[in-house]
Amino acid sequence: MKSSEIQKIRELSEAELEKKLQDLKEELFNLRFQHAINQLENPMRLKAVKKEIAIVKTIIRENELKNGAEA
pLDDT in tens, 2-39: 899 999 999 999 999 999 999 999 999 999 999 999 99
Instruction: Note the pLDDT of residue 71.
Output: 66
Q: Into how many domains does the chain fold?
A: 1
Quick check: is 60 in a domain?
yes
Please give the C-alpha separations between residue 22 and each of 7, 10, 38, 70, in angstroms, as whole numbers. 19, 16, 24, 27
Q: Between these two residues, 69 and 41, which has the higher pLDDT value? A: 41
Domain-located, residue 30: yes
The pLDDT score that the predictor gives to residue 34 is 96
68 band by pLDDT with thresholds 50, 70 and 90: confident
Rounded distance, CA 67 to CA 71, Å?
Answer: 6
For the whole model, what pTM was predicted?
0.90
What CATH code is carried by the domain that includes residue 32? Answer: 1.10.287.310
Domain that holds residue 56: 15-70
Q: What is the pLDDT of residue 69?
A: 82
